[in-house]
A and B are shown apart, each in its own frame.
Chain A
Amino acid sequence: MTDVAPAPFRNEKALRRLKKRRAADARFRLYGLSAIAFALLALSVLVASIGFQAISAATYHKVGFDVVLDPAVIAPKGKDTPADISRNVDGFYALIRSNLQGTFPEAAEDRMATRQLGDLVTRLAVLPTAKWVSENPTQIGQAATIKVPLSDDLDLYLKGAVSKEFRLRLGDISAVTEAAPRQVRLTGDGAFKALQSLIAVQRQEVGDAVDARSILISAGSTTGRIMSLDADAAEVTLLTGSATDFSNVRPTARMIELPETERNVSDLQIAWTLALKDKGRVSRVPHTSLLTHTDSTYPELAGALAAIVGSLLTMMVTAFIAIPIGIFASVYLEEFAPRNRLTEIIEVNINNLAAVPSIVFGLLGAAVFLGFFGLPRSAPLVGGLVLALLTLPTIIIASRAALKSVPPSIRAAALAVGASKMQSVFHHVLPVAGPGIFTGAILGMARALGETAPLLLIGMVAFVADVPVGPTDEATALPVLIYSWSTNAERAWEPMTAAVIVILLMFLITMNGIVVLLRRRFERRW
């Protein structure tokens, strides 16, 4: 080993080695960057997928029905009190059904079609109308336009969520010949050429599966299903409307990728919906019922109102218990507690409780509040109690941090003017720590608002059709509603669930926004 071996900066060996080390350095940095990229990507995929779904639930389709509110149907003798009318689902639904049957007489031909026609609108969808009429009895006997939500599957179809669909404009139809009732032959020079080539392309992709696909052809309110075709002519089975609509127009063809047997909406229902849309009776409106309706087994009728109120009630109970107790406990631990074994145990205990899985608190609630004290199941009172115990450690820890950040000089100043310890704490220290404590409390509440598991265990997962008014009523909460909706099988629940998630996140964002504002406003360095 030689001392002070001159190792010039451009020594080749050293530089080679350095290059390797620098490469390792760059790799390491890259790992860090990709870790952050992964986390950000995961977050954005999550937000995007939920946001995408939620946007599709932000609007929905309603159908308008021009009906006469016939007293014989909606308020027959003996059942004509406002309470009766508001519950008369059958009567109001009968108005809608007869209107539909009048619009589409072909549905009367077989029972299957009649049922399918009825399925365009859910029976219970008329309840808001019934309620409105019962509150405005002068409307009885008058003509009125009732707007009710379209059944969820057709709503999804119109939003393009049922199946991929190829849509193309065909050539001019020159002749329409009716071979048999509802069997039509459409001819036009090269009118079907484009459709033919689409089928050919698709056949190359998926093979003969293309034959199972429905091809619908529509002009105006008329829609038929193409049974066979060549370049210049097609045999069409008319689903709804009249064949004359096809003459001398360029009809639209739709090839629906999912075969009829694999979807919840039939070709006939699609034809009717398209006809209603063509007649201007279908409108896409903001989905306000999501905020004004309570839970339902039909997605198009369901809303989150009961869950929102349930969450608010639960949060009220939690806030009333956890915030004061949390503040008092932290004041005791930070300002008064003697340094002894008991205090130490309490501190370790609080830190541990903060990391106990939330479901364990649910078990505690089920065993103690429901089992031992016999409090009612599914009640915001119990939910609030459990969540209060759950958030208490969080609030205590945050409040203690806030109290700790108050400089001792303030305490000394208060004591020096003759205030007692208690007075110095409550008159001087606590107000200074106030914003910090408040932010901790809000963060605790935000955590409680998103909790699901403990609420499941104390039975807040029940189907709740009425808006709860008190803390002992049966209720559910927003996160629980998200859980129960997401377990429903029907496709239409997915966007609905996403929409409720957005509502929940709105609440959370608001709460966190308040925290950020408070921190900006009151941030103080001593």
Chain B
Amino acid sequence: MVQQLGHLPMGWLMLALLAMLASGAFFVGRVQAARFSGPGSARVHSRPNYHGYYVAMWTFVPAMVVALGYGLFGDGLVRSMLSSELPANFQDMPRVELDVYLNSIARAAFHHGYSGADRVFSAITNRFLELQGLIKASTIVLALVCAATGFLLARRRVAPGFRARNRVEGGIEIFLFLCAAIAIATTIGIVASLLYESLRFFAEIPFWDFLFGTRWNAQTSAEFGALPLFFGTFMIALIAMLIAAPVGLFAAIYLSEYAGPKVRGWVKPILEILAGIPTVVYGFFALLVVAPAIRSVAIWINTTLISTGLASEPLLAAQPTSALAAGLVMGIMVIPFVSSLSDDVINAVPQTLRDAAYAMGATKSETVKHVVLPAALPGIIASLLLAVSRAIGETMIVVMAAGQRARISADPTADLTTITVQIVALLTGETEFDSPKTLSAFALGLVLFVVTLFFNLIALRVVQKYREKYD
């Protein structure tokens, strides 16, 4: 019987239960309030509907909390209960193996996937289902009890003078606040998970070895010196900015100072298309077009140098994937990030400043260079910082076009690897938690997060200050 309960589809069940409870409670509250708020009675504070909402709120929320608790922790609870009951030889298993075993138990229990003759296995499966049933049944009972308590308490307050609307609105406001707080929860989740896994990593690998080690070989041998990754990230971001900064800035200047409204109306949206293209498409472009082109140019340079006697051996690495290919394409991707924010800040420079310069006989370019750009400088710097942060955190282009080899090389046609490439490499495919290999991905993630956060915070600060100045 308890085992049968283990098969209950809790998601749908709880959803239906909550909907029924809430609508029932609403109806009761409304009817009760309707009795004293007829057309003749003027001294009622809230309309019957609000009394209904009030009762429904107090019925729904406690039950919902129980349901959420089950959804988040129910499965884990069952597993930990089960594993504590397991015989001793299971207790000694490494956690990863135990998890895999429990996964197969769960699959066998719910999907009839594996029905082996292993007696221990089927016994554990049965016990698993029993525990599931127990937890599910008690969740439902608990939800009902909480709902009933809430319902009864709320119903007692329904009275002509009761300010049901204010209470309901207060409840909604709390709900709205919780929605806004999810942003904070996300940040906390990011920081907590990165820190937690990183600390486990640094328990095994010394922090300074990670930060300043020059040998990275996480996949095969356990070498976790991340300096080559930092170098690769820096190098590619640098190449990207060398392209995006002048192009984006000059495009913004041209659009805001020189172009007529018609040109502006066409070019601006087209530039924004560049920002809307998924990065994986850029990656494919880098792989398909740019990397081979750069490679053949590099080979041509090599052979020309050798044939003219300027070099005795190939000067450039001319790899099929290269830092230059990734950086170039990333630069194209980042152009709109520079141009659109720069365009905004340049437009925010008051026209009176331009007029002042023109009135003194400055030419357009002198006005831009000496007056507009200095005035817009903080905003432009912010846009560049945001673009750098974007370039550092960009993943797909480098995964597809930068390469996997961790090394420090100033040759732009050599393949380099970056933080993001390694995170992807470490966490795709067969991954087991708890190994330093997997954990190192989180340590890299932490570095990435901290660095980009640093850039973002400064940039956002500067932009805010700038807005305050000219608004």
- Asked if B306 is an interface residue, CB under 8 A from chain A, the answer is no
In angstroms, Cα B170 to Cα A420, docked, is 11
Interface set, chain A 166-203, CB cutoff 8 A to B: none
- Say whether B399 contacts A33, CB under 8 Å: no
Contacts of B196 in A (CB 8 A): 367
- Asked if B332 is an interface residue, CB under 8 A from chain A, the answer is yes
- Of A46, A374, A450, the residue contacting B279 (CB under 8 A) is A450
In angstroms, Cα B76 to Cα A238, docked, is 71
Given A35-B246, A50-B285, A486-B287, are A24 and B363 neighbors across the interface (CB < 8 Å)? Answer: yes
- Say whether A359 contacts B423, CB under 8 Å: yes
A319 to chain B, nearest CB (A): 15
- Asked if B394 is an interface residue, CB under 8 A from chain A, the answer is yes
Interface set, chain A 365-410, CB cutoff 8 A to B: 366-368, 371-374, 389, 392-393, 396
Given A355-B389, A363-B442, are A39 and B396 neighbors across the interface (CB < 8 Å)? Answer: no
Total contacts A to B, CB within 8 angstroms?
267
The segment out of B116-124, B224-232, B249-257 that lies at the interface is B249-257
- Asked if B405 is an interface residue, CB under 8 A from chain A, the answer is no
Contacts of B366 in A (CB 8 A): 21, 24-25
Contacts of B354 in A (CB 8 A): none
- Say whether A504 contacts B281, CB under 8 Å: yes
B35 to chain A, nearest CB (A): 24
Contacts of A164 in B (CB 8 A): none
- Asked if A482 is an interface residue, CB under 8 A from chain B, the answer is yes
Query: Considering only CB atoms, which chain A residue lies closest to B396 in the complex?
Result: A452
In angstroms, Cα B389 to Cα A39, docked, is 20
A79 to chain B, nearest CB (A): 25
The segment out of A93-101, A226-234, A266-274, A344-352 that lies at the interface is A344-352
- Of B189, B332, B386, B393, the residue contacting A359 (CB under 8 A) is B393
Interface set, chain B 235-272, CB cutoff 8 A to A: 246-251, 253-255, 257-258, 267, 270-271
B287 to chain A, nearest CB (A): 6
- Say whether B251 contacts A35, CB under 8 Å: yes
- Say whether A483 contacts B400, CB under 8 Å: yes
In angstroms, Cα B173 to Cα A393, docked, is 20
Query: Considering only CB atoms, which chain B residue lies closest to A322 in the complex?
Result: B182
- Say whether B183 contacts A346, CB under 8 Å: yes
Query: Considering only CB atoms, which chain A residue lies closest to B332 in the complex?
Result: A42
- Asked if A475 is an interface residue, CB under 8 A from chain B, the answer is no
A207 to chain B, nearest CB (A): 16
- Of B251, B368, B424, B452, the residue contacting A28 (CB under 8 A) is B368
- Say whether B193 contacts A32, CB under 8 Å: no
The interface residues of chain B, by DSSP majority, are classed as: helix
Given A28-B365, A39-B332, A363-B193, are A353 and B183 neighbors across the interface (CB < 8 Å)? Answer: yes
- Say whether B176 contacts A396, CB under 8 Å: no
Q: Mark B183-206, 1 if CB is under 8 A from A, else 0.
A: 110110110011011000000000
Contacts of B427 in A (CB 8 A): 362-363, 366, 456-457
Contacts of B456 in A (CB 8 A): 351-352, 355-356
- Asked if B358 is an interface residue, CB under 8 A from chain A, the answer is no
Given A325-B182, A367-B193, are A357 and B395 neighbors across the interface (CB < 8 Å)? Answer: yes
- Asked if A285 is an interface residue, CB under 8 A from chain B, the answer is no
- Say whether A422 contacts B169, CB under 8 Å: yes
- Asked if B98 is an interface residue, CB under 8 A from chain A, the answer is no
- Say whether A357 contacts B193, CB under 8 Å: no
A505 to chain B, nearest CB (A): 7
Contacts of B251 in A (CB 8 A): 32, 35-36, 39
- Say whether B278 contacts A371, CB under 8 Å: no
Interface set, chain A 454-512, CB cutoff 8 A to B: 456-457, 459, 461, 479-480, 482-483, 486-487, 494, 497-498, 501, 504-505, 508, 512
Given A332-B173, A456-B424, are A483 and B255 neighbors across the interface (CB < 8 Å)? Answer: no
- Say whether B365 contacts A25, CB under 8 Å: yes
B394 to chain A, nearest CB (A): 7
In angstroms, Cα B254 to Cα A495, docked, is 37
- Asked if B284 is an interface residue, CB under 8 A from chain A, the answer is yes
- Asked if B181 is an interface residue, CB under 8 A from chain A, the answer is yes
- Asked if A331 is an interface residue, CB under 8 A from chain B, the answer is yes
- Asked if B348 is an interface residue, CB under 8 A from chain A, the answer is no
- Say whether B460 contacts A328, CB under 8 Å: no
- Say whether B363 contacts A351, CB under 8 Å: no
Query: Considering only CB atoms, which chain A residue lies closest to B400 in the complex?
Result: A486
Interface size on A (CB < 8 Å)? Answer: 89
In angstroms, Cα B172 to Cα A421, docked, is 12
Interface centre among A28, A31, A350 (most CB of B within 10 A): A28
Contacts of B246 in A (CB 8 A): 31, 35
A2 to chain B, nearest CB (A): 19
Query: Considering only CB atoms, which chain B residue lies closest to A352 in the complex?
Result: B456
- Of A38, A326, A373, the residue contacting B72 (CB under 8 A) is A373
- Asked if B445 is an interface residue, CB under 8 A from chain A, the answer is yes
Interface set, chain B 69-126, CB cutoff 8 A to A: 72, 75-76, 79
- Of A49, A348, A389, A449, the residue contacting B288 (CB under 8 A) is A49
Contacts of B467 in A (CB 8 A): none
- Say whether A329 contacts B179, CB under 8 Å: yes
- Say whether B448 contacts A498, CB under 8 Å: no
Query: Considering only CB atoms, which chain A residue lies closest to B364 in the complex?
Result: A25
- Say whether A364 contacts B189, CB under 8 Å: yes
Given A346-B180, A368-B193, are A29 and B258 neighbors across the interface (CB < 8 Å)? Answer: yes
Contacts of B460 in A (CB 8 A): 348, 351-352, 355
A1 to chain B, nearest CB (A): 18
In angstroms, Cα B390 to Cα A453, docked, is 14
Query: Considering only CB atoms, which chain A residue lies closest to B255 in the complex?
Result: A36
Given A39-B335, A325-B179, A366-B427, are A353 and B187 neighbors across the interface (CB < 8 Å)? Answer: yes
- Say whether B280 contacts A352, CB under 8 Å: no
- Asked if B309 is an interface residue, CB under 8 A from chain A, the answer is no
- Say whether B449 contacts A350, CB under 8 Å: no
- Say whether A479 contacts B420, CB under 8 Å: no
- Say whether A420 contacts B247, CB under 8 Å: no
- Say whether B281 contacts A352, CB under 8 Å: no
B365 to chain A, nearest CB (A): 4
- Of B75, B179, B284, B386, the residue contacting A498 (CB under 8 A) is B284
A91 to chain B, nearest CB (A): 29
Contacts of B278 in A (CB 8 A): 449-452, 479, 504, 508
- Asked if A151 is an interface residue, CB under 8 A from chain B, the answer is no
Q: Mark B416-450, 1 if CB is under 8 A from A, else 0.
A: 00001001100110000100000001100100110
In angstroms, Cα B245 to Cα A163, docked, is 40
- Asked if B274 is an interface residue, CB under 8 A from chain A, the answer is yes
- Of B267, B274, B389, B420, the residue contacting A453 (CB under 8 A) is B420
In angstroms, Cα B433 to Cα A393, docked, is 29
- Say whether A422 contacts B270, CB under 8 Å: no
In angstroms, Cα B364 to Cα A21, docked, is 10
- Asked if B277 is an interface residue, CB under 8 A from chain A, the answer is yes
Query: Considering only CB atoms, which chain B residue lies closest to A357 in the complex?
Result: B393
Given A328-B176, A358-B395, are A346 and B181 neighbors across the interface (CB < 8 Å)? Answer: yes
- Say whether B180 contacts A452, CB under 8 Å: no
Contacts of B183 in A (CB 8 A): 329, 346, 349-350, 353, 392-393, 396
In angstroms, Cα B194 to Cα A360, docked, is 9
In angstroms, Cα B176 to Cα A325, docked, is 8
- Say whether A328 contacts B284, CB under 8 Å: no
Contacts of B449 in A (CB 8 A): 356-357, 360
Question: Mind listing 5 A-B residue pairs with CB under 8 Å?
Answer: A449-B278, A453-B395, A453-B399, A461-B428, A498-B284
Beyond A36-B267, A362-B427, A422-B173, 11 additional pairs, beta carbon < 8 A: A28-B365, A32-B255, A46-B277, A356-B452, A359-B445, A368-B193, A396-B180, A420-B166, A461-B428, A486-B287, A497-B284
What are the 5 closest A-B residue pairs judged by CB atoms, nearest first?
A357-B393, A32-B254, A450-B278, A35-B250, A367-B193
Q: Which residues of B contact A (CB under 8 A)?
A: 72, 75-76, 79, 165-166, 169, 172-173, 175-177, 179-184, 186-187, 189-190, 193-194, 196-197, 246-251, 253-255, 257-258, 267, 270-271, 273-274, 276-285, 287-289, 332, 335, 339, 363-366, 368-369, 386, 389-390, 392-396, 399-400, 420, 423-424, 427-428, 433, 441-442, 445, 448-449, 452-453, 456-457, 459-460
